[in-house]
Structure 1
């Protein structure tokens, strides 16, 4: 702690901007008082020992901070305890409700590991039974408190609760799930926002076997975490036994520290969507121009198709990030830009709410196809694995990522320089489309309306090539048999 204070001083951090707090282990430590005195004496830092309710609040809000909206159970597995609560960000005062109704159980990964190593089998059995009863009781109490949580267990067709997990122990379990994911190598390394179905999450026996038998390094798992894995798996099994119908499980990068910082933000900012401002917009004119570009590209989607269940840059709230990158790096080789966009989407803004693994994959693929998707062998593997990730959500989503990327590529052909006003963008091109269903293959007829001057100056045959390779870059089974046909229309002035 003295070293931490020294580093903070080197960076000029004001003392009032430093907060130090402790959780379950310090609350229960027999030598807590002497530890707190020693920290104060050597570093000058006072430590706030959090009440269980505050720890639950910070843990849940830290996990919640990685998403634009949440509705599900939140659990935090630390060294000394595991907390469970429920968050529905659409409800008023959901933060305080989560803190007041949350339950803390004294079975953290480190503590439970020591218990499981006890020579007395009766001690181990009693601890596991107490953990299981505690999990069931905590979930039952939350169901009584929150009708929306009860509803997740009633709807047998679409029901099931979504669970968000944070804390080092749970992230360790997520790392083994990622290590055994059918998509290999899994294309996004960050465990934050990694999501699996409940049926996959429940394969604890297989995960124990992998931890015991795999001799190599498992990414995200330290030696200490692998030693604790039997205890982590025991907590997971208690959770599975307590919650009958788990729909999805999402692992979160945030924890108590992020939750404490998140709660310092004004409420309106906490609940806002930052995706639209990750790319700075300097003026009202630029904002209007970006929106005009988005409107033009979006008009290429058939109006009679419901896209609400099809992930794309618009339904995922990625429109501004997409639009602002359409003209980025113009002048660089297309194949280099295609590869750049794949990698940039994976690594950019690592903790930004809303940039889930699915969102990163869709954004990267769409921008990759904006540049023609000409990739080298190693990047083709990355592209294929991102497509497999997207395919899990909706088999049609990959087609629309390719299509919107191709539309953006065509847009740049028609408008090589980024428009500097909304009116200029609107006067360049207009799109409209309709889907024609066939017996074996559908046809998407895209009408491109151009001014007379642009219409006469272009090679019409060349424009068709922007869409001829759709579906040919697919590293997965081609489930969307749709052919895009271009219809050019001249607008007489």
Structure 2
């Protein structure tokens, strides 16, 4: 990523998102080649609820935004204006966006006029339709592809639509997003009022919500192709964005069976219905516990979790079958910037874009070596094969990163690789799936010889438990193959004539304790011109380390797995034989 001294002012875009629950400030760098992931070079948040500011009068009646609240907003805007000056953001690249809380405030015009007079900035008021469309684009910016239902939960309202985002093109319902008055703050207020009246009023609220969501699903005109895909895969994927949903997502993280959850990033976090079947009682416990602190769940968000839990429960009962819930970081800010990008930029794979700044000039040749070290077919006896998650995109990303930690002190390289995707160089890349982060980290921790400290070993184990057993084992194997590549190409430069090449074949071996089993033979062939400088003896130690991951005692053990669906699979691994042909 570009350093502060390398930032080009004309590539910087500042956005103020004046939402219902808070005001967010950000400066993004849209310079190539990382334009697609919209790197954030500055971000801040003011905990000013423009929604709550309108309900401060006795009796809970809505009123204008108070003068002291407006003054607080102005102070934060002026502070951000100074920040924009420090970053040299061009005036024409600064946008102040206002959503529902400002749009519907009784003194909306006075509020935005005051902002203009005091800051010189015009406020772009988003219509209900624009807010839904831009929020949906924020979801599209968060993943390489999107296919399913999309919801954005703000403070005053929530929007529902469907989306197919692929190859740079984003398609949503011709109706746009359907809006409901069930924002986190608004629904918290309504739920409390209903409970004060008794169980009948709460049931009536739930019945109202269910009817509205069922009618909305019909009105959205979900295409037959999307419904057919949902039927084939066991249900819709539901993509959730907005502060209220993100708070709920962090709460689900805290309740994960893999505790502590290893990826402290909300974007890409995925939950299955079984994970939140009892969410209502869990969230109520969290919101009622003054002593319990949950990562990234503020007291304000904690007070809203019963309402968010109710919303999710109603959704799962009202909409067609939901197979997974996926959380997004992208919202109005990200969607607004994503809307500026050309389709050719949008279609780029975020994983490749995030890693390309770290690629050596021979990254493609390194990719070819990694690819050729993996078998192209399943083993004959037990049908063991490379997981589908080891896609060309993932392998290219790993190739880009294989030498990024070469300048790190030798003893800390494995740890640097292990943390690279969560708190290291890829931590700020928001558009990556958690599974990709885990696999890359596991590969890079094996890529460099050396030991991990006990705390880092624990983190490595949790990442290994997060992915499937076969993903964990193949990550170990690929990382050790990468180490051998590093021995042959210490600078990561591959000449026109490669020093080595790989090939693989499946064989069957017999062991007294285990009988006949599959064995993957990795053949390493030396080019004739390099046999004098790269010898078999120089690679024997690394070859032995690769073979060790194939020893049954080093297989991924079933008893170490967390997820129930993996316990039934038993130990996983593949016997390995490395042949060095000089």
Distance, in Å, in 2 between the alignment partners of 1:6 and 1:333 is: 40
Picking from 71, 88, 113, the partner of 2:164 is: 88
Q: CA deviation at 1:279?
A: 4.2
Q: CA deviation at 1:66?
A: 1.4
Residue equivalent to 1:482: 574
Alpha carbons of 1:92 and 1:450: their partners in 2 closer, same or farther (altered >3 Å)? Answer: closer
Instruction: Say which is worse superposed, 241-250 or 7-16, in terms of deviation.
Output: 7-16
Distance, in Å, in 2 between the alignment partners of 1:351 and 1:72 is: 25
Residue equivalent to 1:381: 458
Picking from 174, 184, 198, the partner of 2:259 is: 184
Aligned residues: 476
Two-structure CA RMSD over aligned residues (Å): 2.8
- State how 1:94-243 maps to structure 2 within 5 Å: 94-95=170-171, 97-98=172-173, 100-118=175-193, 119-121=196-198, 124-142=202-220, 144-155=221-232, 158-212=233-287, 214=289, 215-243=291-319
Greater relative contact order (Cα < 8 A, sep 6+): 1
Alpha carbons of 1:33 and 1:404: their partners in 2 closer, same or farther (altered >3 Å)? Answer: same
Alpha carbons of 1:101 and 1:437: their partners in 2 closer, same or farther (altered >3 Å)? Answer: farther
Alpha carbons of 1:209 and 1:279: their partners in 2 closer, same or farther (altered >3 Å)? Answer: closer
Matched, 1:267 2:339: no
Residue equivalent to 1:7: 80
Residue equivalent to 2:31: none
Distance, in Å, in 1 between the alignment partners of 2:506 and 2:442 is: 23
Unaligned 5+ segments in structure 2 are 1-72, 379-383, 562-569
Instruction: Say which is worse superposed, 177-186 or 27-36, in terms of deviation.
Output: 27-36
Q: TM-score scaled to structure 2, two decimals?
A: 0.75
Q: CA deviation at 1:2?
A: 3.0
Q: CA deviation at 1:482?
A: 1.6
Residue equivalent to 1:67: 143
Distance, in Å, in 1 between the alignment partners of 2:502 and 2:95 is: 55
CA contact (8 A) 1:303 1:434 kept: no
CA contact (8 A) 1:57 1:98 kept: no
Q: Deviations over 1:460-493 (max 9, x none)?
A: 6534322244273858357213221112222xxx
Q: Deviations over 1:42-80 (max 9, x none)?
A: 323332222221111111111221111111111001000
Matched, 1:359 2:426: no
Distance, in Å, in 2 between the alignment partners of 1:39 and 1:146 is: 43
Alpha carbons of 1:407 and 1:31: their partners in 2 closer, same or farther (altered >3 Å)? Answer: same
Distance, in Å, in 1 between the alignment partners of 2:140 and 2:214 is: 23
Residue equivalent to 1:431: 503
Alpha carbons of 1:37 and 1:462: their partners in 2 closer, same or farther (altered >3 Å)? Answer: closer
Distance, in Å, in 1 between the alignment partners of 2:168 and 2:454 is: 50
Q: CA deviation at 1:213?
A: 5.8
CA contact (8 A) 1:297 1:431 kept: no
Distance, in Å, in 1 between the alignment partners of 2:516 and 2:102 is: 66
Residue equivalent to 2:372: 299
Matched, 1:53 2:129: yes
CA contact (8 A) 2:156 2:181 kept: yes
Alpha carbons of 1:260 and 1:350: their partners in 2 closer, same or farther (altered >3 Å)? Answer: farther
SS at match of 1:453: coil
Matched, 1:340 2:416: yes
Distance, in Å, in 1 between the alignment partners of 2:556 and 2:385 is: 21
Alpha carbons of 1:261 and 1:5: their partners in 2 closer, same or farther (altered >3 Å)? Answer: farther
Alpha carbons of 1:329 and 1:41: their partners in 2 closer, same or farther (altered >3 Å)? Answer: closer
SS at match of 1:485: strand
SS at match of 2:231: coil
CA contact (8 A) 2:156 2:185 kept: yes
Distance, in Å, in 2 between the alignment partners of 1:432 and 1:36 is: 66
Q: Deviations over 1:278-300 (max 9, x none)?
A: 345699xx65x211111112101
Residue equivalent to 1:404: 478
Instruction: Say which is worse superposed, 481-490 or 125-134, in terms of deviation.
Output: 125-134
Alpha carbons of 1:276 and 1:311: their partners in 2 closer, same or farther (altered >3 Å)? Answer: same
Unaligned 5+ segments in structure 1 are none
Alpha carbons of 1:351 and 1:85: their partners in 2 closer, same or farther (altered >3 Å)? Answer: farther
Q: Deviations over 1:156-214 (max 9, x none)?
A: xx321011101111111111110010111111111111111122133333433442465
